[in-house]
């Protein structure tokens, strides 16, 4: 009975880890194209050029901020995997004791 519960927990952890891993890879790299919005500035790359995408204003600035925040949020999903792993480990230790 305990063996089937342990295997179910391990299987669930592996399934959730795979789904989160794929989701993080897909969603973490997806961003909006902000270059078509008014106020978007690009760095020309010249020696004296001081324009960067950080100098964008209005909707373009908000678009770039949203892209950065959503990438950061998806990168934090690894914490979910760590918490689930801790719960599974504690449950397995409790079953074996």
**Domain range list for the chain:** 1-7+40-97
- pLDDT range class, residue 33, cuts 50, 70, 90: confident
| CB contact at 8 A, 63 and 37 | yes
Check residues 44 and 38 and name the one with the higher pLDDT.
Answer: 38
| pLDDT tens digits along 65-84 | 888 888 777 777 777 777 87
Write 63-67 long-range contacts (CB < 8 A, 24+).
Answer: 63/32, 63/34, 63/37, 64/34, 66/32, 67/31, 67/32, 67/34
Indicate the Cα dihedral angle 15, 19, 22, 28, nearest 10°. -140
> pLDDT at residue 45 above 60?
no
pTM of the model: 0.54
Contacts of 16 (CB under 8 A, 6+ apart): 81, 84
> pLDDT at residue 46 above 60?
no
The mean pLDDT value for 26-37 works out to: 78
């Amino acid at each position: 009975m305990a063996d089937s519960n342990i295997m179910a927990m391990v299987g669930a952890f592996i399934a959730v880890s795979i789904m989160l891993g794929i989701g993080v890879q897909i969603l973490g790299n997806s961003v909006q194209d902000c270059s078509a919005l008014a106020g978007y500035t690009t760095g020309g790359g010249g020696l004296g050029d001081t324009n960067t995408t950080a100098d964008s204003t209005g909707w373009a600035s908000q678009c770039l901020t949203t892209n950065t925040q959503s990438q950061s949020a998806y990168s934090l999903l690894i914490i979910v995997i760590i918490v689930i792993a801790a719960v599974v480990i504690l449950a397995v230790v409790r079953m074996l004791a």
